[in-house]
Structure 1
Amino acid sequence: MFRKILIANRGEIACRVIKTARKMGIATVAVYSDADRNALHVRMADEAVHIGPAPANQSYIVIDKIMDAIRQTGAEAVHPGYGFLSENMKFAEALAAEGVAFIGPPASAIEAMGDKITSKKLAAEAGVSTVPGYMGLIADADEAVKISNEIGYPVMIKASAGGGGKGMRIAWNDEEAREGFQSSKNEAASSFGDDRIFIEKFVTQPRHIEIQVLADSHGNTLYLHERECSIQRRNQKVIEEAPSPFLDEATRKAMGEQACALAAAVGYTSAGTVEFIVDGSRNFYFLEMNTRLQVEHPVTELITGVDLVEQMIRVAAGEELAFKQSDLKINGWAIESRLYAEDPYRNFLPSIGRLTRYRPPEEVAEPARAVRNDTGVYEGGEISMYYDPMIAKLCTWAPTRAKAVEEMRLALDEFELEGIGHNLPFLSAVMDHPRFVSGEITTAFIAEEYPDGFEGAQLGDDLLHRVAAGACAMNRVAEIRRARVSGRMDNHERVVGTEWVVNIDGQSLPATIAADREGATVTLAGQEFRITSDWKPGQPLARLSINGTPLVMKVGKLPGGFRLRLRGADLKVHVFSKRQARLAQLMPEKVPADTSKLLLCPMPGMVVSVAVQEGDEVYEGQALATIEAMKMENILRAERKGKVAKINAAAGASLAVDEVIMEFE
C-alpha cells in the first residue's frame, strides 16, 4: 500500500480524499494556488506545496507544476479528484513515466472514454444505443448552425473535453446555436484547454440516470447501482439521489450490465460512471462515461456501504476487489443537495465573498438516519471568483425515500450560511415540491417549475400556522428577556401578555398563549399548538417541537418580531399586542427604487463583451453584454424594447454586484 499520496485538486473533493487516506494510514500532500493559501484542504493535509497564481490554467491544470510537487514530496501516487486533470490522458502518461501511480483508470481508457466524441463512436460500435448527433469536429458557428438544422432543434452543444456543466448549451434556433457554439468554445478553452465542440439531439423530457462502476486489474468489473441526477440547472446537477425512484429491477440490471460491458471493453480500472438518459418507457441511451470519481459519489456510498475513494486507492495499488456483484445490495435511500455560492434570487448567478457564518448541521451516522456534509470551506473563509462555486455537498440517508427527504428538509433548515448569496432556499423549496416528493421528475424540472427564476417558496397554511405559533412562543421568551434586562421583572416573575396578533405572509392571526414549565400552548387559527424548545433570544437557530413534529428555523431580529427562514421561505413575522397591530396597519410601505432603465451587473465578474452602442435601438431578448464569473459566461439580454442612452462599462472591466453597465432612455 502507498505511504504518501498527492491530491491534484482543491476544495471539498481534496478534503474528501484526505479523510479516507487518513483512515487508511496514508500521508497526504495538498497543492494550492495563491487564492487557496489558507484553504481547508491545505490545513488538513500532512504537507502542502504552492503551485502558482489563482487562475487554474496557471496552477491546478499545469502538469509540470504538479509533477514538481510530486518530486518535492516523494508522493508515490496521485488522486486527481474530479475536474482539472482528472480526465487528462497526458497527465496520466506523465505520472506513468515518472513511476508514480495514478489513482484512476489507465491512460488508454481515459483516451477512449474521456473524450465524448470518441466514447460515443466506441459505444455505437459496441452496439450501445446512443443519442443522434454529429460526432465530428465543428469548424465555426456557421457549420454549427448547419449541423443543428440537419439534426433538428433542439440540440445540445457540448465541449468534447467538458464536464460539470461547463461548455454546454441548449439551442432551440439558429441564433441560439450560433451564440451557444461560441460561448461553449470559449468556456471549453478556458476550463479545459480544449475547445473542440460537438452537437447532438437534445432529448426532451428525459431522466438523467447514471451507473457507478468499479473495476480492478484482475478482470473484475462491478456496478454499484444507479444515481438519479435529473434535477439540473444549466446542465449542472443540483440534487441527486440513490437509487432512482423510476427504475425497476430489470432496467437497473440491464443498465448495470451494459455499463460494465462498456468499461471492460476499454480495459477500464478504478471507479467510473456511465451516464444515460432514460425516457418515460425506461428506454435508456448512452450519453458518456466519466473516467473519474463523480461529485455525487457519496449517495452511492451511503446505500452500498462502499468507500469508493478507498477502493480507488486499493485498485491503484494492485489489489483485487474484496467483494462480488452479489454482495452489492441497495440499503435504504440517500439524497445529496449541492450547496452553491450562487444567488437564486438573481437567476442563480455566482456570488463571491467571505463566509461570515458557516455552521453545517451535525453529521450523524445512526441505524435509522445519517447526515453527511462534504465540504472544503470554513467560517471566515472566502469564496473566490476563480473556481467552481460549490461550497458543500449535504447528504442524508434513511431507510425510505420519504424519510430521507424529511431528513434533508431538516438538515437544510439547520444549515447556517451567511455572507454570500447561496442556493439553500432553493434546495429547501425543491424538497417540498410535489413533483419531487412524488419522484415524477425530469431534467426539465427546474425550467418547467421555475420558468421565471426563484422568488422564494410559498408555505401552505398548515406550515405557515405552525411557524406563526412558534413565533408567538418565541416572542414570549423574548418578552421575558426584555423585562429582566430592563429591571421590570420582580423576583424573575412577571405576567407576560396572553393575547397577541401574529402578522405573517399577509395574514393577521389572533393568538392566545398559555405557558407552563415544560413549554407553551398557542391557540391560533382555530387550532392548538403544543410547543417546546430551548431557544433563547439572540440564537440564530431555533429548534422547536410543535405537536410532536420538529420545526427548525433560522432566526433574525426585527422590531416587534423576527425574520424566519425555513423550507425556502424568507418571512418577516411580527408579533404585536392588539393595539400595536392596529397601529401597524397605518404604517406606509417603503417603495423600492426604480431600476427599470438600467442594466445592472447581476454578479461580481468581468465584462467579456458589450454587444451594443450608445444610441442603438434594442428589442426584447437582444444580447446586450456578456459577463464571465467562475469560468461561466452569462449573456445579459434586454427585457423590453428601448434605446441605449449610455454605456458605463467596457470589455475587460471588473464589476461588482448591481454596478451599472448601461442606461436606457
Structure 2
Amino acid sequence: MFDKILIANRGEIACRVIKTARKMGIKTVAVYSDADRHALHVQMADEAIHIGPPPANQSYIVIDKIMAAIKESGAQAVHPGYGFLSENKLFAEALEKAEVAFIGPPASAIEAMGDKITSKKLAAEAGVSTVPGYMGLIEDADEAVKISQQIGYPVMIKASAGGGGKGMRIAWNDQEAREGFQASKNEAANSFGDDRIFIEKFVTQPRHIEIQVLADKHGNCVYLHERECSIQRRNQKVIEEAPSPFLDEATRKAMGEQAVALARAVGYCSAGTVEFIVDGQKNFYFLEMNTRLQVEHPVTELITGIDLVEQMINIAAGKTLPFAQKDLKINGWAMESRLYAEDPYRNFLPSIGRLTRYRPPAESAHDAAVVRNDTGVYEGGEISMYYDPMIAKLCTWAPTRAQAIDEMRTALDAFEVEGIGHNLPFLSAVMDHPKFCAGDITTAFIAEEYPDGFAGVALPEPELRKVAAAAAAMFRVVEIRRARISGRMDNHERTVGGEWVVVAQGKSFPLTVAADHEGATIQFEGGDHHRVTSDWRPGQPLAVLHIDGEPLVLKVGPTSHGFVIRHRGAEIKAQVFTPRQAELAALMPEKLPPDTSKLLLCPMPGLIVTIDVEEGQEVQEGQALCVVEAMKMQNTLRAEKKGIVARINAGPGQSLAVDEVIMEFE
C-alpha cells in the first residue's frame, strides 16, 4: 500500500479524498494556486505545494507543475478527483512514465471513453444501446446546422472532451444550432483545451440515470446500482438520488450489465460511471462514460456502504475487489443536494465573495438516518471567480425515499450561509415540489416547473401559521430582553403584552401569546392555536423550535418590528405589531424599486467577452447584446424589448461587478 498520495485537485473533492486517505493511514499532499493559499484542502493535508496563479490553465491543469509537485513531495500515487486532469490521458501517461501510480483507469481507457465520439462507437460495438447522432467532427456552424437538420430537431450540441455541463447546448432550430455550436466550441476550448464538437438527437422527456462501476486489475468488474440525476439546470446536475424512483429491477439489471460490458471492452479498472438517457418507456441509451469519480458518488456510498475512494486506492495498489455482484444490495435511499454559489433570484447566475457565515447542519449517522456534508470551504473563506461555484454536497440517507427527502428538508433548513448568493432556497423548494416528491421528474423539470426562473416560495397557509406562531413567540422573547435591558420592566414601567398581529406573506394574523415556563401557547383569531417551545435567544441566527411537538427549523435575521425568516425555500418578512401598530402600518405606502428598464446591468461578477451591438443601433427583442463569462460559463445577454442603444459603458476584456451598467437605451 502507498505511504503518501498527492491529490491533483482542490475544493471539496480534495477534502473528501484526504478523509479516506487519513482513515487508511496514508499521508496526503495538497497542491494549491494563489487563490487557494488558505483553502480547506490545504489546511487538511499533511503537506501542501504551491503550483501557480489562480487560473486553472496556469496551475491545476498544467501537467508539468503537478509532476514537479509529485517529485518534490515524493508521493507514490496521485488521485485526480474529478475535472481538471482526471480524464487527461497525457497526465496518466506522464505518471506511468514517472513510475507513479494513477488512482484511476489506464490511459487507454481514458482515451477511449473520455472522448465522447470514440466512446459512442465503442459502446455500440460492445452491444450498448446508443442515441442516434453524428459522430464525425464538425468544422463550422454551417455544417452544424446541416447536420442538425438531418438528425431532426431538437438536437444536443456537445463538446467531445466535455463534462460538468460545460460545452453543451440544446438547439431547437437553425439559429440556436448556429449560436450553440460557437458557444459550445468556445467553452470547450476554455475549459478543456479541446474544441471538438459533435451532435446527437435530444431525447424528449428524458431521465438522466447513471450506473456506478468498479473494476480491479484482475478482471473483476461490478456495478453498484444506479443514481438518478435528472434534476439539472443548464445540463449541470443539482439534485441526485440513489436508487432511481423510476427503474424496475429488470431495467436496473440490464443497464448494469451493459455498463459492465462496456468497462470490460475497454480494459477498465478503478471507479467509473456509465451515463444513460432513459425515456418514459424505460428505453435507455448510452450517453457517455466518465472515467473518474463522479461528484454525486456519496449517494452510492450511502446505499451500498462502500467507500469508493478507498476502493480506488486499493485497486491502484493492485488489490482485488473484496465483493462480487451478488454481494451488492440496495439499502435504503439517499439524496444529494449541491449547494452552489449561484443566486436563484438572478436566474442562478454565479455569485462570488466571502462567506461571512457558513454553518452546515451537524453530520450524523445512525440506523434511522444519516446526514453527510462534503465541503471544501469554511466560514470566512472566499468563493473565487476562477473555479466551479459548488460550495458543498449535502447528503441524507433514510430507509425510504420519503424519509430521505424529509431528512433533507430539515438539513437544508438548518444550513446557514451568508455573504454570497446561494441556491439553498431553490433546493428547499424542490424538496417540497409535488412532482419531485412523487418521483415524476425528467431533465426538463427545472425548465418546465420554473419557466420564469425562481422567484421564491409562498408557504401554504398551514405552514405559514406555524411560522407566524414562531415569530410571535420569538418576538415576545425579544421584547422581554429589550425591557430588561432598559430597566423599565423591573420598575414596572413597562410590561410585555400578549396581543399581537403578525404580518407575513401579505397576510395578517391577529393572535394572543400566553407564555409559561415551558413555552408559549399561541391562540389565533378564530380559535386555532399552536404550542411553541424553544430555547432560542435573541441574536441567534438559527431557531430550532417545536410546534405542537413537531420540529421547526428557521433561519432568523432581525428587522424592524420582527424578523426576516427563511424556511423551506421561502424568505418571509414577519413583522410583529401591537393591534394599533398594525392598523397604522397598513396605511403606509410601499417603497417602489428603481426603474432599470433602460439599462443593461451585469447580472453577476464577470468578464465581458464580446459586445455584439454598437451605439445608435436599433435592437430587436431577443437579440444578443453581449457575452459575459463567469466561473467558466459564457452567458449571452439579450434585449428584453425593441430599442436603440444610447451608450455602451463596457468593452471586451473588462471585469464588472454585479449590477454595473453595461449599456443604456434610449
What is the alpha-carbon distance in structure 2 between the residues aligned to residue 77 and residue 194 of structure 1? 27
- Equivalent in the alignment of 1:204: 204
Q: Is the 8 A contact 1:564 1:571 kept in 2?
A: yes
Q: How many positions carry a matched residue from both structures? A: 665
Q: Structure 1, residues 250-281: CA drift from partner, whole Å, max 9, x if none?
A: 11111111111111111110000000011111
- Equivalent in the alignment of 2:361: 361
RMSD of Structure 2 on Structure 1 (CA): 1.1
SS in 1 for 2:372: strand
Letter in 1 for 2:604: M
- Equivalent in the alignment of 1:575: 576
How many Å apart are 1:20 and its aligned residue?
A: 0.2
What is the alpha-carbon distance in structure 2 between the residues aligned to residue 384 and residue 496 of structure 1? 47
What is the alpha-carbon distance in structure 1 between the residues aligned to residue 301 and residue 495 of structure 2? 54
Q: For residues 494 and 310 of structure 1, do their structure 2 counterparts lie closer, same or farther at Cα, with a shift above 3 Å needed?
A: farther
What is the alpha-carbon distance in structure 2 between the residues aligned to residue 240 and residue 361 of structure 1? 19
- Equivalent in the alignment of 2:559: 558
Once superposed, which parts of structure 1, at least 4 consecutive aligned residues long, lie more than 6 Å away? 491-494
What is the alpha-carbon distance in structure 1 between the residues aligned to residue 455 and residue 423 of structure 2? 12
SS in 2 for 1:78: strand
- Equivalent in the alignment of 1:594: 595
**What is the 5 A alignment of 1:482-521?**
482-490=482-490, 495-521=495-521
SS in 1 for 2:640: coil
Letter in 1 for 2:637: L
- Equivalent in the alignment of 2:102: 102
How many Å apart are 1:476 and its aligned residue?
A: 1.1
- Equivalent in the alignment of 2:45: 45
What is the alpha-carbon distance in structure 2 between the residues aligned to residue 541 and residue 524 of structure 1? 25
What is the alpha-carbon distance in structure 1 between the residues aligned to residue 373 and residue 423 of structure 2? 16
* 2:326 is the counterpart of 1:326: yes
What is the alpha-carbon distance in structure 2 between the residues aligned to residue 550 and residue 325 of structure 1? 41
What is the alpha-carbon distance in structure 1 between the residues aligned to residue 504 and residue 320 of structure 2? 60
- Equivalent in the alignment of 1:150: 150
**What is the 5 A alignment of 1:269-308?**
269-308=269-308
SS in 2 for 1:214: strand
How many Å apart are 1:327 and its aligned residue?
A: 1.4
* 2:57 is the counterpart of 1:57: yes
Letter in 2 for 1:654: S
* 2:618 is the counterpart of 1:617: yes
What is the alpha-carbon distance in structure 2 between the residues aligned to residue 150 and residue 495 of structure 1? 79
- Equivalent in the alignment of 2:455: 455
SS in 2 for 1:572: strand
Consecutive unaligned residues of structure 2, counting only runs of 5 or more, are none
- Equivalent in the alignment of 2:432: 432
SS in 1 for 2:162: strand
- Equivalent in the alignment of 1:217: 217
**What is the 5 A alignment of 1:226-245?**
226-245=226-245
How many Å apart are 1:56 and its aligned residue?
A: 0.5
How many Å apart are 1:328 and its aligned residue?
A: 1.0
How many Å apart are 1:367 and its aligned residue?
A: 1.1
* 2:173 is the counterpart of 1:173: yes
Q: Is the 8 A contact 1:541 1:555 kept in 2?
A: yes
How many Å apart are 1:494 and its aligned residue?
A: 7.5
* 2:14 is the counterpart of 1:14: yes
Q: Is the 8 A contact 1:6 1:77 kept in 2?
A: yes
What is the alpha-carbon distance in structure 2 between the residues aligned to residue 403 and residue 128 of structure 1? 35
- Equivalent in the alignment of 1:603: 604
Letter in 2 for 1:606: L
What is the alpha-carbon distance in structure 2 between the residues aligned to residue 497 and residue 252 of structure 1? 62
What is the alpha-carbon distance in structure 2 between the residues aligned to residue 389 and residue 179 of structure 1? 25
- Equivalent in the alignment of 1:626: 627
Q: For residues 342 and 492 of structure 1, do their structure 2 counterparts lie closer, same or farther at Cα, with a shift above 3 Å needed?
A: farther
How does the TM-score come out when normalised to structure 2? 0.99
How many Å apart are 1:495 and its aligned residue?
A: 4.7
SS in 2 for 1:163: coil
What is the alpha-carbon distance in structure 2 between the residues aligned to residue 86 and residue 535 of structure 1? 46
Consecutive unaligned residues of structure 1, counting only runs of 5 or more, are none
Q: Structure 1, residues 498-542: CA drift from partner, whole Å, max 9, x if none?
A: 211110111011111111111111112542111111100110011
How many Å apart are 1:120 and its aligned residue?
A: 0.2
Q: Structure 1, residues 458-492: CA drift from partner, whole Å, max 9, x if none?
A: 11111111101111111111111111111022299
- Equivalent in the alignment of 1:528: 529
SS in 1 for 2:435: helix
**What is the 5 A alignment of 1:342-357?**
342-357=342-357
SS in 2 for 1:205: coil
* 2:386 is the counterpart of 1:386: yes
What is the alpha-carbon distance in structure 1 between the residues aligned to residue 493 and residue 433 of structure 2? 45
What is the alpha-carbon distance in structure 1 between the residues aligned to residue 494 and residue 462 of structure 2? 32
How many Å apart are 1:496 and its aligned residue?
A: 2.5
Q: Structure 1, residues 619-644: CA drift from partner, whole Å, max 9, x if none?
A: 11110000001110000001111111
What is the alpha-carbon distance in structure 1 between the residues aligned to residue 198 and residue 530 of structure 2? 59
Q: Is the 8 A contact 1:34 1:53 kept in 2?
A: yes
What is the alpha-carbon distance in structure 1 between the residues aligned to residue 494 and residue 279 of structure 2? 65
What is the alpha-carbon distance in structure 1 between the residues aligned to residue 210 and residue 493 of structure 2? 62
How many Å apart are 1:127 and its aligned residue?
A: 2.1
How many Å apart are 1:114 and its aligned residue?
A: 1.1
What is the alpha-carbon distance in structure 2 between the residues aligned to residue 278 and residue 491 of structure 1? 72
Letter in 2 for 1:412: L
Letter in 2 for 1:184: S
Q: Is the 8 A contact 2:127 2:258 kept in 1?
A: no
Letter in 1 for 2:568: R
Letter in 2 for 1:466: K
Letter in 2 for 1:142: D
What is the alpha-carbon distance in structure 1 between the residues aligned to residue 492 and residue 268 of structure 2? 72
* 2:649 is the counterpart of 1:648: yes
Q: Is the 8 A contact 1:413 1:554 kept in 2?
A: yes
How many Å apart are 1:112 and its aligned residue?
A: 1.0
What is the alpha-carbon distance in structure 1 between the residues aligned to residue 534 and residue 475 of structure 2? 12
Q: Is the 8 A contact 1:484 1:492 kept in 2?
A: no
Q: Is the 8 A contact 2:126 2:261 kept in 1?
A: no
How many Å apart are 1:493 and its aligned residue?
A: 12
What is the alpha-carbon distance in structure 2 between the residues aligned to residue 447 and residue 292 of structure 1? 29
Q: Is the 8 A contact 1:608 1:628 kept in 2?
A: yes
What is the alpha-carbon distance in structure 2 between the residues aligned to residue 538 and residue 129 of structure 1? 58
What is the alpha-carbon distance in structure 2 between the residues aligned to residue 333 and residue 260 of structure 1? 23
Q: Structure 1, residues 127-148: CA drift from partner, whole Å, max 9, x if none?
A: 2211111111111111111111
SS in 1 for 2:160: strand
Larger mean CA deviation between 524-533 and 438-447 belongs to 524-533
What is the alpha-carbon distance in structure 2 between the residues aligned to residue 551 and residue 132 of structure 1? 49
How many Å apart are 1:173 and its aligned residue?
A: 1.1
- Equivalent in the alignment of 1:66: 66
Letter in 1 for 2:388: D
What is the alpha-carbon distance in structure 1 between the residues aligned to residue 255 and residue 496 of structure 2? 64
What is the alpha-carbon distance in structure 2 between the residues aligned to residue 50 and residue 495 of structure 1? 62
How many Å apart are 1:52 and its aligned residue?
A: 0.8
How does the TM-score come out when normalised to structure 1? 0.99
What is the alpha-carbon distance in structure 1 between the residues aligned to residue 654 and residue 420 of structure 2? 22
- Equivalent in the alignment of 1:261: 261
What is the alpha-carbon distance in structure 2 between the residues aligned to residue 545 and residue 140 of structure 1? 61
Letter in 1 for 2:478: A
Q: Structure 1, residues 374-394: CA drift from partner, whole Å, max 9, x if none?
A: 000111111111100000000
Q: What is the identity percentage for the equivalent residue pairs of Structure 1 and Structure 2?
A: 80
Q: For residues 491 and 213 of structure 1, do their structure 2 counterparts lie closer, same or farther at Cα, with a shift above 3 Å needed?
A: farther
- Equivalent in the alignment of 1:80: 80
Q: Is the 8 A contact 1:480 1:494 kept in 2?
A: no
How many Å apart are 1:429 and its aligned residue?
A: 0.6
Letter in 1 for 2:266: V
Q: Structure 1, residues 545-588: CA drift from partner, whole Å, max 9, x if none?
A: 10121111111111111100011111101111111111111212
What is the alpha-carbon distance in structure 2 between the residues aligned to residue 568 and residue 214 of structure 1? 37
